[in-house]
Structure 1
Amino acid sequence: MKTFEIKDDFYLDGQPIKIISGAIHYFRVVPEYWRDRLEKLKALGCNTVETYVPWNFHEPHEGQFNFNGRFNVRKFIQIADELGLYVILRPAPYICAEWEFGGLPYWLMKEADLKVRFDNPIFLEKVDNYFTKLYPEIVDLQITQGGPIIMMQIENEYGGFANDKSYMGKIADLMEKHGTEVPFVTSDGPWGDMLEDGSIQDRALATINCGSKIKEHFKVLKDFHKEKKPLMVMEFWIGWFDAWGDEKHHTMDGQTAANELSDILDEGSVNIYMFHGGTNFGFSSGANYYDKLAPDVTSYDYDALLTEWGDITPKYRLFQEVIGKHREIPTVELTTDIKKIAYGSIQASSKTSLFNNVDNLAQKITHNYPLSMEQLDQGFGYVYYESNIGRKRHIEDFRLIGCMDRAQIFVNDGLIATQYDLELGTQLAFDLQAKTNKLGILVENMGRVNYSVKMNHQEKGIRDGVILNGAFQSGWAMYALPMDNLAQLDFSAEWAVGQPGFYQFTFEAEEIGDTFIELPSWGKGFVTVNGFNIGRFWEEGPQVRLYIPGPLLKVGTNEIIVFESEGKVGTEIILTDEPKLAKN
C-alpha cells in the first residue's frame, strides 16, 4: 500500500515527490473523451490530475443524486489510476470554477435561515447529507486504500469570501466523518488577508492561486508557513475565461506562462489551471459581478494547454519542455480516434412559437403574485410570467421589482422592451391598444454568480413583483422552463415573426466526428443536439461557434433544436470542422 504525507515536502512512500498536476473538470468533458484528455495530460509529463466535484451537478434537486454516465466521477478517477496518474480531489461544497453558483445547488436559497459558506447548522446539515452520497463513490479511491487520490481540498479560496474558521473546521470534520484519510489542503490568493482568512494551518497545507510573479508570491507563502513546508501553486492560471460582451477571447502568451512554470518547479509543485478547460454545457456557466453582471460564455477553453475540443497547442509543447527538465517525459499512446467533420449547411425543417408551446413544456402555476425561479422548484433556464392587465389605456409607470437576470416584456405577444441586469427596474411607459390586454414576461437566468459577496442573493426570475401605474399587479400564470424536455414540443403549433421560438433541424451522418455549429444572423438562445443541451449562443460574442463533441452524434438521422429568444433568426445553421472562439 502506498503512502502520501505532507511534512517539509511532499512524500510518496517516504520519498520526496514534486507534484506536477493539471486540471481537467470531468463535468466539462463528455465521458467518451476522459481517457483522451488524461492520456494527453500524462504525455505532457504530469504525474497528477486535479478536479473539482460540483455539488449542484450531482444533486440538482434536493435528495435527487446522479453518479452515472457523465456524472460518474468515480469512473474518471479510475481512468486516471489506470494511466498511473495521482488525483487531487476538491469535493468541498463550493468550487467557484466559473460554474453556476460556484457549484452550490439553487435549492439552498429556499431556506430562509440558511447561510451558505458559514458555520450555519442548516447549511452544514445539507452538506452532510450530500457527503453521505458522494463519499461512497470516492472513499476507497484514496491512496490509503490503494487508490490514486493523494490530497483533498477544504472549501476553495475561502479567504476571498470570509474568515469563519469555525466553518472551515466543521467542513474538515465532515470530510473526515465521511472517510477522508489523505492530507488536507486549502488554496487562496497570496494577496491581502486571503491566506490568513482562508487557511486552517493546524489541519491543512496552505497553497496559493496565481498566474504570475511566482517568486514574489512564493516568498509570501514561505513567510506565511513560518516553518519549512512544501510550496505549491494549486491554481497556476495560464489563461482566463470569457464573459458575454467581452471584446475578445482572453489569452496568455505561451512563453511567458512557461517561464512562470519554470519558476514554480524550481521551488515547488504545481497544478496547471486549466490543463484542459472544456465546455459549459447547458446552463452550467456561472457569472461574476462587480460593477455589472458578467455571465460566462459556453466555451471554457481558458487558453489552456489543450483547446476546448482537445487539440494540443503550442503552449502545451512549451510546458512539456519545461517539465522535461524536472522529470522524464513518458511515451504515451493516444487511444481515442477523434476527427473533425463539416456536415455543412442545414435549413430548418419545422418551427414553432414558445408562446404556443408553454403548456406543452410546463404545468401552469397560478398565484396572486409572481414567484421566483427557486419558489417554482427550478434551477436553470427561463420562467414565463403572464397576466391579464385589462382595458385599453396608457401605462405611465411599468417596473419590474426584484428581477434577475434578463427580461423580455411582451404585450399581446408583441415585444415592447428588453431589460438586462442594471436596466431591470427601469420605468417604462406604453399604450395598451386592445380591448383586453395580456402581459407576458420571459425571464432568463444567465448564470448565478460564482464568486464574492453577490453570491448571497442569487434568486432568479421575479422575486418581488410587477408595478403597473403605481400598484403591484396581481393574478399571474407562471411556467417554469428549464428546457430539459423539448421532446414535448408541438412543431405543428403556429410560429410567429419576432417572437421567441424553436427551430428543428435534421441531418444525416455517415460517420461521426467533432463539429462546430455557427448560427449566422441568429440572436440569442441555446442549442440541443439529439436532446443534449450544448449551451448558449448570443450575437453579443465574443464566442462565435459552439462545440459539438462527436459522441453526441450518431450514424443516421440527427436532430438539432435551436431556441431563439429575440426573434432574430437566420436562414440556416452551419456545421463546420473549423472552431472559432471569438469574432476577432
Structure 2
Amino acid sequence: MTTFSITDDFYLDEAPFKFISGSIHYFRVVPEYWRDRLEKLRLMGCNTVETYVPWNMHEPQEGTYCFDGGLDLRRFIQTAQEVGLYVILRPAPYICAEWEFGGLPYWLLQDPQMKLRFDYPPFMEKIDRYFSHLFLQVNDLQYTQGGPILMMQVENEYGGYANDKDYLRKMTAAMRTAGVKTPLVTSDGPWHDMLENGSIQDLALATINCGSNINGHFERLKAFHGVKKPLMVMEFWIGWFDAWGDDHHHTTSTTDAVKELTDCLAQGSVNIYMFHGGTNFGFMNGANYYERLAPDVTSYDYDALLTEWGEPTEKYQAFRDVIGQIVPLPDFPLSTTIKRKGYGTVTVQDRVSLFATIDTISQPIASNYPLSMEQVNQATGYIYYHSAIGPARKIEDYRLIHCMDRAHTFINDELIRIDYDHDLGKTNQIDLTAAENELGILVENMGRVNYSVHMNHQYKGIKDGVIVNGAFQSEWMIYPLPMDNVADVDFSGDWQAGQPSFSRFALTIEETADTFIELPGWGKGFVTVNGHNIGRFWQEGPQKRGYVPAPFLKEGANEIIVFESDGIVGDTIIFHDQADLGPIQSNQ
C-alpha cells in the first residue's frame, strides 16, 4: 500500500513519519549538479528534499512554457527519487525565495488593474491556465502513483501579505482541479496574525517558518491547531541572504542552529532552509524594500549547509551528527566529480560602447512618451530612452517620474548623473552647452521586490515620463535591452571612456572546473560565459567574485563578455579557485 496522510501525525504507508528535509532550488543549480547536491542531502541523513517552483521561469512570456534543461522540474524530482529522497513541492504562484518578483511573471503587471495574490478573476484565470501546464509535468510523480511527492503547499507565507480566505480556497480548488491528490500545507510566520491570516485548516495543515525559539513557536502552533496535529517548521532558517551595499556576508551560529534543530526534531518535522542555496544566475535576484531598496546579490549562499558551489560546511557535519542520533546515516560514494581551479588573469581583447552597438542588440520603438519594461514585453535587464531636447540652455527642472531602479542620464552620450532609489524623481539641473542636444537615459531593473506591499508597484524603467523644464518631454526612441543576445554585440564599433560598454575576453583552458571570476577595479554590470549570464557584479559589495560552474565552460577557447554600466572598467579579469562573498560577521 502506498499512502501518505496527515491526521494526528504524518503517516507514510500507515506508519508514523518524520520529515527531515532540506531545501534545494533546482533553478539555482546547474542541472549537471542536481544529483551531487541531492546525494549530499541524503548522506546527511535527510529523507526529503523541498523545492519552490518559479512561475516566472516556467512561463517567462504569457502563454510560453519552459520545462526543459535547467527548468526540467520533472527530471529533478525523478533524480531525487533515484537518490532515495521524498519531495515536498511548493508550486504556489508566489514563492518569495529572494527571487525576482517572488516568482511572479512580470507580465501580470500589463493589466493596470492587477491585484496580485487576491481573488481577482483575471489573476485566478492566469493561475488556472499555468497550473494546467505545470501539473502535467508532475502529477504522476505523486506518491500514490509511485512517485516521491508527499506534500504540496498552497500559496506561500500568505499570512504576511493578506487574509483573503476566498483566494486561498480557490487556490486549493485550482490545484485539485489540476490533478493534485497529495495532502496540502500552508506555511507562515508564527508572529502577529500570520497564522490566522494564511491558514485554511480544514483544507491544509498549517506549518511555520522561523529560525529560532523553536520550542516557543511550536507551543504557539499547538494552540493554533487546537487538536493534535503534526508540528513542522517548513522553513527552518539556518542562515540569511546578502543585499548589495551590505557591509558583510551574513553568517549564523552553528551552535545555535544545532540546538534549534535538536529541539525541532524532538517534537516534530523540519525542512532546513537552505540546505543548498545556489546562485541567482542572470538577473533573477529579488529585492526587499523597507526604508530603502535592497536588491539581493548574485550569490544565494545563505550560509547554508552546502556552500554556493556545493561544498559541505562545518554546519553540515554538525547537522549530520544531530540527525545521526535519530536515524541511520547512509553511506555511498558521490557520483559526480567536481573540481575547482583558478585560471589566473585574462586581458581584454575587444571593447565597444553600448551606444556604438545598440542597434545590433535592440529594435527601437518610437513613442511620444516613455514606456516601461512591462509595456514593451520585457522582464529584466536594462532599457534605454533617447530624445532630442533642443538648443543650449539651462534646464532648471529635470525629473524622472515613476522610474525604477537605477538611471544613468547622458547628454550627447556623456554621463551626467546616476540616480538610484530615493534619488529618482528628485529635481535636478542640467546645463546644455551644445547647439543641439540629445538626452539618453539608461535604466536598470535591479530585481523586482519579492516580499510585502511594494510588490504591487514593480514597474521597471520609466512608467510616467521625463520632466524637462517643467513639462513632459515627448518623441522618444526606446531600446529594450534584456541582454539575452550579447552574441549580437558588434565589437568593431568605437569605445568611448566613461560610457557603458561591452568587453570581450578569451579564456583558453585544458580542463573545465568550477571557478570564481573577479573584476578588480570594475564598477557595475554583469558577466556572460559562453552565453550563460552568471549574474551581476557591483563594486558596492559585499560579494567580490562570481561563481562560474564548470558546465558553463568548455575545453579550449571560452568567450567571456562583461557589460559595465558606469564607465568604470579594467583591462583584466581574474579566475580564482576560491569564492569571496565579502567580509564575514557572525553572531557566533
Q: TM-score range, shorter-chain basis?
A: over 0.9
Cα separation, 1, equivalents of 2:531 and 2:405: 25
The one-letter code matched in structure 1 to 2:126 is K
* Deviation by residue 1:370-426 (Cα, 9 ceiling, x = unmatched): 000100110000000000000011111100011000000000011111100000011
Shift of 1:333: 1.5
Task: Give 3-state SS (helix, strand or coil) of 2:356's partner.
Answer: coil
Shift of 1:112: 2.0
Shift of 1:571: 2.2
Q: How does 1:223-234 map to 2 (within 5 A)?
A: 223-234=223-234
Cα separation, 2, equivalents of 1:461 and 1:141: 41
Paired residue for 1:262? Answer: 262
Paired residue for 1:301? Answer: 301
Cα separation, 1, equivalents of 2:287 and 2:52: 17
Shift of 1:133: 1.0
Task: Give 3-state SS (helix, strand or coil) of 1:128's partner.
Answer: helix
* Deviation by residue 1:466-486 (Cα, 9 ceiling, x = unmatched): 001111100100000000001
Task: Give 3-state SS (helix, strand or coil) of 2:466's partner.
Answer: strand
Cα separation, 2, equivalents of 1:370 and 1:379: 16
C-alpha contact (below 8 Å) 1:113/1:122 kept by paired residues: no
Paired residue for 1:286? Answer: 286
Paired residue for 2:482? Answer: 482
Q: Considering only aligned residues, what root-mean-square deviation do their CA atoms show, in Å? A: 0.6
Task: Give 3-state SS (helix, strand or coil) of 1:356's partner.
Answer: helix
Task: Give 3-state SS (helix, strand or coil) of 2:429's partner.
Answer: strand
Structure 1 runs of 4+ aligned residues shifted over 2 Å read none
Q: Which stretch shows the higher mean deviation, 357-366 or 151-160?
A: 357-366
Paired residue for 2:105? Answer: 105
Q: Which stretch shows the higher mean deviation, 569-578 or 497-506?
A: 569-578
Shift of 1:192: 0.6
Paired residue for 1:425? Answer: 425
Shift of 1:267: 0.2
Matched, 1:248 2:248: yes
Task: Give 3-state SS (helix, strand or coil) of 2:138's partner.
Answer: helix
Paired residue for 2:461? Answer: 461
Cα separation, 2, equivalents of 1:19 and 1:326: 12
Shift of 1:144: 1.1
Matched, 1:557 2:573: no
Task: Give 3-state SS (helix, strand or coil) of 1:357's partner.
Answer: helix
The one-letter code matched in structure 1 to 2:24 is I
Number of aligned positions between the proteins: 584
* Deviation by residue 1:275-323 (Cα, 9 ceiling, x = unmatched): 0000000000000000110000000000000000000000000000111
Cα separation, 1, equivalents of 2:400 and 2:184: 46
Q: How does 1:136-155 map to 2 (within 5 A)?
A: 136-155=136-155
Paired residue for 2:213? Answer: 213
Shift of 1:332: 2.5
* Deviation by residue 1:515-571 (Cα, 9 ceiling, x = unmatched): 000000000000000000000000000000000000000011100000000111112
Shift of 1:84: 1.3
Cα separation, 2, equivalents of 1:110 and 1:571: 41
The one-letter code matched in structure 2 to 1:550 is A
Q: How does 1:339-378 map to 2 (within 5 A)?
A: 339-378=339-378
* Percent identical residues: 65
The one-letter code matched in structure 2 to 1:306 is L
The one-letter code matched in structure 2 to 1:107 is W
C-alpha contact (below 8 Å) 1:534/1:547 kept by paired residues: yes
C-alpha contact (below 8 Å) 1:48/1:85 kept by paired residues: yes
Matched, 1:502 2:466: no
Cα separation, 2, equivalents of 1:459 and 1:566: 23
Matched, 1:571 2:571: yes
C-alpha contact (below 8 Å) 1:541/1:583 kept by paired residues: no
Q: How does 1:58-69 map to 2 (within 5 A)?
A: 58-69=58-69
Paired residue for 1:186? Answer: 186
Cα separation, 2, equivalents of 1:18 and 1:325: 14
* Deviation by residue 1:113-143 (Cα, 9 ceiling, x = unmatched): 3211000110000001111111110000000
Shift of 1:30: 0.1
Task: Give 3-state SS (helix, strand or coil) of 1:36's partner.
Answer: helix
Paired residue for 1:331? Answer: 331
Paired residue for 1:73? Answer: 73
C-alpha contact (below 8 Å) 1:283/1:381 kept by paired residues: yes
Paired residue for 1:116? Answer: 116
Shift of 1:358: 1.2
Cα separation, 2, equivalents of 1:244 and 1:507: 28
Task: Give 3-state SS (helix, strand or coil) of 2:403's partner.
Answer: strand
Paired residue for 2:473? Answer: 473
* Deviation by residue 1:240-267 (Cα, 9 ceiling, x = unmatched): 0000000100111111101100000000
Task: Give 3-state SS (helix, strand or coil) of 2:23's partner.
Answer: strand
Paired residue for 2:5? Answer: 5
Cα separation, 2, equivalents of 1:85 and 1:145: 16
The one-letter code matched in structure 2 to 1:442 is L
The one-letter code matched in structure 1 to 2:183 is P
Cα separation, 2, equivalents of 1:319 and 1:164: 38
C-alpha contact (below 8 Å) 1:544/1:583 kept by paired residues: no
Paired residue for 2:451? Answer: 451
Q: How does 1:123-202 map to 2 (within 5 A)?
A: 123-202=123-202
Cα separation, 2, equivalents of 1:190 and 1:325: 28
Shift of 1:231: 0.2
Paired residue for 2:512? Answer: 512
Cα separation, 2, equivalents of 1:323 and 1:544: 34
Shift of 1:583: 4.3
Shift of 1:342: 0.9
Matched, 1:546 2:570: no
Paired residue for 2:387? Answer: 387
Cα separation, 2, equivalents of 1:571 and 1:509: 20
TM-score, scaled relative to structure 1: 0.99
Cα separation, 2, equivalents of 1:192 and 1:486: 48
Paired residue for 1:90? Answer: 90
Cα separation, 1, equivalents of 2:276 and 2:487: 32
Shift of 1:507: 1.3
Cα separation, 1, equivalents of 2:432 and 2:101: 39
Cα separation, 1, equivalents of 2:32 and 2:474: 50
Cα separation, 1, equivalents of 2:583 and 2:258: 27
C-alpha contact (below 8 Å) 1:415/1:499 kept by paired residues: yes
Cα separation, 2, equivalents of 1:473 and 1:419: 19
Cα separation, 2, equivalents of 1:507 and 1:119: 52
Matched, 1:582 2:560: no
Shift of 1:74: 0.3
Cα separation, 2, equivalents of 1:85 and 1:269: 15
The one-letter code matched in structure 1 to 2:508 is E
* Deviation by residue 1:310-367 (Cα, 9 ceiling, x = unmatched): 0000000000011111111111210100000111100111000001111111101010
Cα separation, 2, equivalents of 1:579 and 1:56: 29
C-alpha contact (below 8 Å) 1:42/1:332 kept by paired residues: no
Shift of 1:159: 0.1
Cα separation, 1, equivalents of 2:582 and 2:114: 40
Cα separation, 2, equivalents of 1:394 and 1:249: 45
Task: Give 3-state SS (helix, strand or coil) of 1:537's partner.
Answer: strand
Cα separation, 1, equivalents of 2:35 and 2:83: 9
Q: Which stretch shows the higher mean deviation, 563-572 or 158-167?
A: 563-572
Cα separation, 1, equivalents of 2:56 and 2:492: 35
Task: Give 3-state SS (helix, strand or coil) of 1:494's partner.
Answer: coil
